Chain A
Amino acid sequence: MTAYETVIGLECHVELSTKTKMFCSCRNEFGAEPNTLVCPICLGHPGTLPVPNERAVEHTITIGLALGSEIAPTSLFHRKNYFYPDMPKNYQISQYDLPLCVGGALEVEVDGEPRRVGITRVHLEEDTGKTTHAGATGRIAGADYALEDFNRAGVPLVEVVSEPDLRSPAEARAYLVALRGLLRSLGVSDVKMEEGSLRCDANVSVRPEGHEELGTKVEIKNMNSIRSVERALAFEAERQRAALDAGETLVQETRHWDEDQGETSSMRSKEEAFDYRYFPDPDLSPLEPEAERVDRLRSELPELPAARRARLESELGVPAAQAAQVVEQGWDRFLREAVAAGADAKGAANWMTGDLAALLNEAGIELGQAKVSPKHLADLVRLVADGTISTAGAKQVLAEMFASGADAEAVVEERGLAQISDESALGAIVDEVIADNPDPVEQFRGGKEGVIGFLVGQVMQRSKGAANPQEAQRLLRERLAR
């Protein structure tokens, strides 16, 4: 059996979160009623002309700077000509041989090991409208007709192309997570795969281990989440290995990922090879980023994720995995404020990446929209640390704070979640448990140390979870030793 190496390169399309579209002044928003964010320009009406959005150009340069790309002294918009009903002009204004940003790399962490993934280029283009295939299946095959909504047409889109430096689906996932975190930290995009503001196509090939020459490349489209990218790549790499082992020849093609079936399938072969007839858009002039502009954008770059992770680890002692998640989500400031309000950093990070992340996910909101403040979190962590509430109680407190925005102490009070640590109150329950469980008590006294857990459990049950378990165990041992 030959051992194969998988070679992957990713092309990511990122919708910029500008106020307006790339070449017209229509609002750039997600989720509006169909065909309400349109004007003669983005509908491709006769006689209209594009004028580039300055902020979109600057965002692209910012992305390039963050990736260590070279900002091209001269860059051009080209027209990419092909007919498709969701593209109003039947050409896309894109970039061709002179992109805004060339080269660079993204630092990625795979299984705790840092990896540098080369960036080929970063360029700026416009998005298309949205097609809905209507009729029996809702898929392209077998549809009766199609409906076009042009709200998305002309939204600024940045394409980030990686070198074929990735060697496994897990590395591809790590790359996407890192890219998403970087873009989020730059504040240039919402990077939500589910809303389509981050989209990804992959080029995959396999080659016998040790070979220099690349295998036949297959492009995969229609992956709608990071998880589906990972699944699709795993499926495709395996398919290619099996084909080669079976002595088949692979063809260079584009394949469609079917999320439900969990497989890629060849896209209908085209009647003609694509010939995009690229040429410089005569409606637009060159982009020549001035040194002052590039310097200003460089000076405005926020601290990048790698540095932020490192600081959370070194300054606050947050464990690596949690630091990565906090940074990826852009929660560093919240965490630092919670620490400033008195929280233990490790504890706060633990609550944020655990229960709080789950609550946010369930509610489908961002941390910024939640009712929980850093002060709330700090109080919660403190109440657990000083033994006022148990971990189980703290979960309830967090859920209540999340739902109502109430103070931690008020919730503890209202729900009677304070732990019973008071020796007289707790002692009475401990005495009851000892009296009611003669057999286990005998076993413990006979040296069966493990039984103590059962007895503590009984105390907890009788106190309806309010007992401080450490204190209960101390009292049990004390009384049984007499």
Chain B
Amino acid sequence: MPVEIDIEHVARLARLALTPEELERFREQLGVILEHAERVTEVAAEAVPATAHPIPMANVFRPDEPRDGLGRDEALANAPDREGDFFKVPPIVEEPE
């Protein structure tokens, strides 16, 4: 059975503005894909550790030595909008986390 998901909630979490047509199409498609993906739950794997990386490593570090970054102009070169030396964005209506 296709999985039922709250597509509007997911689209909002993912910050995607979607049309009603898109919402409906994606709801159906994701339901089918998830039904297939859910097969992973059939595998008995309680005692199996998770693999995050195929080649395990640990303690990979960088020395605390400064290097020059981008110049201000290069940093702002791709900015869709700027004011002075700042990136400019529309007003924020929500407090941060």
> Which residues in A have some Cβ–Cβ distance to B below 8 Å?
18-20, 23-27, 33-40, 42-43, 51-57, 74, 80, 82-86, 128, 131-135, 140, 143-150, 221, 254, 256, 267-268, 270-272, 274-275, 277, 280, 282, 284-290
Q: Report yes or no: B56 in contact with A145, Cβ–Cβ below 8 A.
A: no
Asked if A40 contacts B92 (CB within 8 A), the reply is: no
A133 in contact with B62 (CB, 8 Å): no
The reply to whether B92 and A140 contact each other, CB–CB distance below 8 Å, is yes
- The chain B residue with its CB closest to the CB of A142 is B91
Asked if residues A52 and B61 are in contact (CB atoms below 8 Å), the reply is yes
**Across the interface, which residues of B come within 8 angstroms of A289, CB to CB?**
59
B94 x A270 contact (CB < 8 A): yes
From A19, A56, A148, A286, B58 is in contact (CB under 8 Å) with A286
Q: Are B97 and A84 in contact, with the CB atoms below 8 A?
A: yes
Chain A residues contacting B70 (CB-CB under 8 Å) are 38-40, 43
Asked whether, in the complex, the Cβ of A274 is within 8 Å of the Cβ of B65, the reply is: no
Given the interface contacts A52-B60, A256-B95, A285-B58, does A26 sit within 8 Å of B87 by beta carbon?
no
A26–B95 touching, CB < 8 Å: no
- Bound CA span A181–B93, Å: 37
Whether B20 is near chain A, meaning CB under 8 Å from some CB there, is no
Q: List 22 A-B contacts (CB under 8 A).
A: A20-B64, A20-B65, A25-B65, A25-B67, A25-B69, A26-B67, A26-B69, A36-B85, A38-B70, A40-B70, A51-B60, A52-B62, A55-B64, A57-B61, A145-B83, A147-B84, A148-B88, A150-B87, A254-B95, A256-B95, A268-B94, A290-B59
5 further A-B pairs in the complex, CB-CB below 8 A; given A19-B65, A25-B62, A52-B61:
A84-B96, A148-B88, A274-B97, A287-B59, A289-B59
Q: Give the CA-CA distance A272 to B13 in the complex, in Å.
A: 8
Q: Which residues of B contact A272 (CB under 8 A)?
A: 9, 12-13
Contacts of A150 in B (CB 8 A): 75, 87
Q: Is the CB of B95 within 8 A of A287?
A: no
Contacts of A82 in B (CB 8 A): 97
Return chain B residues, CB-CB under 8 Å to A36. Answer: 71-72, 75, 85
Residue of B nearest to A26 (CB): B69
What residues on A are CB-neighbors of B86 within 8 Å? 34-35, 132, 147-149
Task: Give the total number of A-B pairs whose CB atoms are below 8 A apart.
Answer: 147
In the docked arrangement, what's the CA distance between A38 and B89, Å?
18
Q: B53 at interface (Cβ–Cβ under 8 A)?
A: yes
Question: Chain B residues near A23 (CB, 8 Å)?
Answer: 62
Do the beta carbons of B89 and A268 come within 8 Å of each other?
no
Residue of B nearest to A134 (CB): B83
Decide: A148 and B64 in contact? CB cutoff 8 A: no
Residues B94 and A18 in contact, CB atoms below 8 Å apart = no
A287–B63 CB distance below 8 A: no
Contact A145 B91 (CB under 8 A): yes
- The residue on B at minimum CB distance from A25 is B67
Chain A proximity of B74: nearest CB distance (Å): 9
Asked if B52 is at the interface of the complex by the 8 Å CB criterion, the answer is yes
Partner of B59, one of A133, A254, A285: A285
Contact A282 B53, CB 8 Å, known A43-B75, A83-B15, A132-B86: yes
A-side contacts of B44, CB under 8 Å: none
Query: In the complex, which of the residues B56, B88, B92 has the most CB atoms of chain A within 10 Å of its own CB atom?
Result: B92
B12: chain A residues at CB < 8 Å are 271-272
Instruction: Report A281 CB to chain B, min CB distance, Å.
Output: 9
Q: Is the CB of A33 within 8 A of B72?
A: yes
List the A residue with the shortest CB-CB distance to B13.
A275
**Contact assessment for B66 and A35 in the assembled complex, using a CB-CB cutoff below 8 Å:** no
- Complex interface: chain B residues within 8 A of A133 (CB): 91-92
Chain A hits for B85, CB < 8 A: 33-36, 149
Q: How far is the CB of A126 from chain B (nearest CB, A)?
A: 13
Taking a contact as CB atoms under 8 Å apart, the answer to whether B53 and A51 are in contact is no
A56-B52 contact in complex given A82-B97, A145-B90, C-beta closer than 8 Å: no
3 smallest beta-carbon distances between A and B, as pairs:
A39-B69, A147-B86, A54-B61
Q: Is B1 an interface residue (CB 8 A)?
A: no
| B86 closest partner in A (C-beta) | A147
CA distance A270 to B85 in the complex (A): 31
